[in-house]
Structure 1
Amino acid sequence: MPSPQFSGWQRKLLKAFAFGAVVQMASLPLFAPEAAAAAPATSTVAAVTSVEPALRPAAGMVSGGATSSRKIEPTYTIQVGLENEIFPVFANHAALQPRDERTWGTVAVTVRNSTDAPLRNRIAVQVRGWSDQEIQIAEMAAGDVRTVLFAPSFLPRLYQNQELTAATVNVQVTDMGGRTVFEQTVPVHLRAADDMYWGQNFKFAPFIASWITPHDPRVELVLSHAKEFVPNRRLPGYEDWKDEAGQERETEIEARAIYRALQAGRVSYVKSSITFGGNNEVSERVRMPRESLRQSAANCIDGVVLFASLFENLGMAPAVVVVPGHAYVGVRVARGSSRYLYFDTALTGRASFEAAVAAAERGLAKYPQSQILSVRVDDARRAGIFPMPQGATTADANLTADFPVDDSEPISKAAPVPAGR
């Protein structure tokens, strides 16, 4: 996976995760009103300034309206996604935000009322065949410029889509009498549902929490097997009646049981992170936990979101930890504790839990704090980053067949661990 390099303010931001103040205008690979309104009136594209270098005008950004040979009329400019690519993870997050509090969206329509009269338009936006239609009313005084942000709810098929796919955004503007005053289609690319856009310097790393799906039936199934690996057949998560030392012991017992259950399910390391589309140097495929369990395969970040899903299901506090070229999972050892138990999920198929813990300790010790990024999942949830939807498929019919448990060949605690892992 890409390697993180962070400035001082980014490290402080991502560790403290004061995210609510950042997930807003020009901070995401989408569009925001204040920046668009700042573009000069002569521009044919409503420029959007952003700290994200990849965000720049794309061929599909279109404008319509008055020219010098026609009477003065309002003009309309459309912008879509990140360079005309829509990432499901961002589209889902945008759709979950209250419209009145929205500071960015999947589609932006900038209206320039160049006339000397007030304007009232009905604007409808839809990704044909992929989303619901969203309608908003734009009311503007003479001479005003306004960017209207749209985040239509997408149909389940978007979250089942596994490849880069062409689609069409339709924008229709009518006056209040129903007369069409502007209509335009924009060709776009829909990224695969499991495409994660990390961004430059891992700016969007907190969105990895969208891959953590604690309520997935397969996650529940793993936990039903994991309880068989503890003496009392219980996975209670944190128990507040215990002191911190007691909770820490219980956390280690439960983490080991989950690890052994996944070993019994024959989950092992398979690297499969290739993705298609733009910005490939800061994007990668991340399997959803259900896919890792269905295929009994996971690379490092796949394994991290899988284990994090299992911990979150139990009401525990997982963390995703990224270092150059690798990732580890962590779980808070006790409620309210500042300490975490870390281990290397890439070793699940070939080494013991103790070896995985030791590998994480060695791996994290190799890097200065400036090269270690930690995303705490409970902070991400408070910032409004929730699991991505997962539409049902025919493969969901028999969960047990998807996750066969075979403990006939237990993995030896003495299994060798490669250097650096």
Structure 2
Amino acid sequence: MQVSASSFRIWNLVIVLGAALLGCALLRGVVPADTQSPPSVQAEQSTQTAQSLDLNQPIDVEKIQVDYLYRSDLITIIYPLYGSILDDFTIVTLTNTNPSAVRIKVLSEVQGYTDQSMDTVTVSGNETLEVRQNPRLISTRIENLNVQQPAQFHIRVAALQQGEEKIILEGTGETLVFARRDFPWGIPGMSEAETFELLAAMVTPNDPKVEELLRAAADYTESGSMWGGYSGVEDDEDGEVWERLEAIWQAADEVYDLTYVSTVVTYAPGDIQRIRLPRETLEQQAGNCIDLSLLFASAAEAIRLEAAIIGIPGHAFIAVRTDQVNDRYYFIETTLIGQTSFARAVEVGAETWREVAESVENGEPNYNWLTIAAAREKGILPLPWP
């Protein structure tokens, strides 16, 4: 069953993704500069003159000021987005009011949860430089992190001269490490639609577990194969899109024995949703509406079909475009997996869409449409698998 969504325009969901500092804590270096800082620049944009690169001149650490920001919350499930979609975990501003250049080493980490991030930069005389760091998560430490834990952020900044280090600043501060499956619906500095769009990172078409699902689904197609892309036929009149989606549904049901487990989805700012990634849904043979939507969107994207996730109050379901010409979709109620046929799941999905289409079009609170391909163009890429 096909339902027209031609009146629906996704343009109102175009998002300007900016710096979203989640509960940032600001700590200022204890050694102030004696002059006003010039405008900040990125470390990689720094240019040095021959005179400023005389690193053998005596260093006066009293003339080096360090300011830094770090996140007071570490969201592990979307950690790869720090430094791209989300702002960097740590931003260190170095101001050198010495007349000559200084080599400075910056180290930061979340103790026990990340590796140590290290940068060594040259800061010219009377220059301000920014160093942005995203310490890498220790996968073995995060893997079994099922509840959020308090942690200590540690930073160390030192001037280097003739092989010796002169400590400029060393400090610690509190941060909160989220459990590996916890996703916050409210992120300070980001709109509801921007936050919802981050779900695209959890659509993982290249995960080997998703590829295994597609291999199993191939046995349910007439040709015994699973192919990618659209055939060019409008409105899926040759049934190729339907055939593949139905095959994925049957494999998920009969081979993986997937079932729906009820979990409340609120989308309320400040609430945290525990989310299974597609591989976990397959391994655990169960998922809620978000989990199952992420899984089926992953399978659809893997075979180059345009998928979207629709969020409404307390629920989520998916849409898969029928062709590349018309604005028409198969709406799929994924929570019916293991209970009914694919055809019935599409009928129910279509009924739900008719009920909520106007609210989604109008951008009402808790009504969101996320096109995975559009999110990819903005840099929200799939999370890496273990």
Q: 1:283 aligns with which of 269, 272, 285?
A: 272
Aligned to 1:215: 206
What is the correspondence of 1:7-406 to structure 2 with a 5 Å cutoff?
Answer: 12-14=11-13, 17=14, 19=15, 22-25=16-19, 28-30=20-22, 55=23, 58=25, 61-66=26-31, 73-81=63-71, 84-94=72-82, 97=84, 104-111=87-94, 115=97, 117=99, 120=102, 121-129=104-112, 130-137=114-121, 139=123, 142=126, 147-157=130-140, 160=143, 161-177=145-161, 178-199=165-186, 201-240=192-231, 242-246=232-236, 249-264=239-254, 265-272=256-263, 281-367=270-356, 368=358, 369-370=361-362, 371=364, 372-391=367-386
In structure 2, relative to structure 1, the CA distance for the partners of 1:13 and 1:118 (3 Å cut) is farther
> How far apart are residue 79 of structure 1 and its match?
2.6
> How far apart are residue 292 of structure 1 and its match?
0.9
1: distance between equivalents of 2:313 and 2:372? Answer: 20
Retained in 2: the 8 A contact 1:65–1:73? Answer: no
In structure 2, relative to structure 1, the CA distance for the partners of 1:232 and 1:87 (3 Å cut) is same
Aligned to 2:52: none
Retained in 2: the 8 A contact 1:104–1:149? Answer: no
- Across the aligned residues of Structure 1 and Structure 2, the Cα RMSD in angstroms comes to 3.1
> How far apart are residue 251 of structure 1 and its match?
0.7
> How far apart are residue 77 of structure 1 and its match?
3.5
| 1:230-262 per-position Cα deviation (integer Å, ceiling 9, x unaligned) | 22212213244x422457621111111111111
2: distance between equivalents of 1:340 and 1:373? Answer: 16
Alignment gaps of 5+ in structure 1:
1-9, 31-54, 392-421
TM-score scaled by length of structure 1: 0.70
In structure 2, relative to structure 1, the CA distance for the partners of 1:388 and 1:163 (3 Å cut) is farther
> How far apart are residue 298 of structure 1 and its match?
0.7
| 1:362-403 per-position Cα deviation (integer Å, ceiling 9, x unaligned) | 212222222442111112222221222232xxxxxxxxxxxx
- Give the fraction of aligned pairs with identical amino acids, expressed as a percent: 23
2: distance between equivalents of 1:338 and 1:308? Answer: 18
TM-score scaled by length of structure 2: 0.76
Q: Secondary structure at the match of 1:179?
A: strand
> How far apart are residue 353 of structure 1 and its match?
1.4
| 1:207-228 per-position Cα deviation (integer Å, ceiling 9, x unaligned) | 1011111122221222122122
Aligned to 1:40: none
Matched AA of 2:229: Y
In structure 2, relative to structure 1, the CA distance for the partners of 1:285 and 1:162 (3 Å cut) is same
Retained in 1: the 8 A contact 2:217–2:247? Answer: yes
2: distance between equivalents of 1:117 and 1:375? Answer: 52
In structure 2, relative to structure 1, the CA distance for the partners of 1:158 and 1:210 (3 Å cut) is farther
How many pairs does the alignment contain? 333
- Which has more strand, going by share of residues? 2
Alignment gaps of 5+ in structure 2:
1-8, 34-60
2: distance between equivalents of 1:246 and 1:360? Answer: 18
1: distance between equivalents of 2:30 and 2:307? Answer: 51
1: distance between equivalents of 2:259 and 2:297? Answer: 16
> How far apart are residue 337 of structure 1 and its match?
4.2
> How far apart are residue 168 of structure 1 and its match?
2.6
1: distance between equivalents of 2:385 and 2:146? Answer: 12
Retained in 1: the 8 A contact 2:236–2:322? Answer: no
Q: Secondary structure at the match of 2:219?
A: helix
